[in-house]
Amino acid sequence: MSDPPLDKQQVFWNRWNAEWRFGGIDGFMVRQREVALEWATRKQLEGAAILDVGCGTGWLGNSLTSFGRVLGVDLSPDSIEKGRSKHPSVELRSGDFLTMDLGRTFDFIVSADSLAHFYDQQSFFQRIATLLRPGGTFLLMTQNAAVWAKRAGRAPQGEGHIQRFPTRSAIQQGLSASFDIEHESTIAPGGDEGWLWWVENRGVRGVMGRIVGPKRWEGLLERAGLGRELVIVARRR
């Protein structure tokens, strides 16, 4: 089956973002924001050119404005319009990231939960490499395919929705031509089917939270690779 045309994809993401991203920031987004701020701080960014790919309303890029000038791009025009009113400090543009002319290169590129929805993932990695300056940092946060295989709700959510979760090895391969991977981890433990049923089980979480503490238990699961989100940091060669 061929991928849906871009206009159908835009319709889907307009609807999805209106339902899930036009309001406040949930706990999962807070965790993603913590990761982005941690790595921007580690890299000692100052006055940097920053790109947020698949930015939605620009909520994540908005958290990075103290580190430099942020440009956010997203396929959904409604999300960009909403973001311009919510996050005026971020420059926002709507279009197809793989083909749009951004007119500059960047020191730091972040992408959260957009890779799985691109019609050409190999071109995604090539485009990132083209836009990132040598020595620059790419922070990729994307669905952990190994966990999502054991998680309900993983089917495409409607017409116009592309959803292909790349494996960790596929991501490593996609980055290998132009990047050196500096860090790999997972965040936000998940899984509720098969042998991972216990990860999100309320009773198990409650017991382990009382034994070792909720934060420590979550950290143990993340370090065991059971987070539903992969975090990969790569340096452009």
Q: pLDDT of 179-202, one tens digit each?
A: 999 999 999 999 999 999 999 999
Task: Return the structure tokens found at 11.
Answer: 């319709």
Whether the predicted model's global pTM rises above the 0.85 cut: yes
When the pLDDT of each residue in the chain is averaged and rounded to a whole number, the result is 96
Domain ranges in the chain?
6-146+153-190+225-236
Q: Within 13 Å of residue 15, how many CA atoms lie on the same side as its CB?
A: 10
Task: Return the structure tokens found at 197.
Answer: 């049923």
92 bridge partner residues: 72
Overall average pLDDT of the 191-219 stretch? 93
C-alpha to C-alpha distance for 41 and 207, rounded to whole angstroms: 35
12 bridge partner residues: none
| % of the chain at pLDDT higher than 70 | 100
Classify domain 6-146+153-190+225-236 at the CATH topology level: Rossmann fold (3.40.50)
pLDDT score recorded for residue 187: 97
* Beta carbons of 36 and 63 less than 8 angstroms apart: yes
Picking from 73, 154, 76, 78, the residue whose alpha carbon sits closest to that of residue 116 is 154
Sequence-ordered list of residues with C-beta below 8 angstroms from that of 219, at least 6 positions apart, any chain: none
The structure tokens 């959803």 sit at: 163
- Determine the straight-line distance between the first and last CA of the chain, rounded to whole angstroms: 36
Other CB atoms within 10 A of residue 120 CB: 11
Q: Does 123 score more than 90 pLDDT?
A: yes
pLDDT score recorded for residue 1: 65
Q: Does 155 score more than 80 pLDDT?
A: no
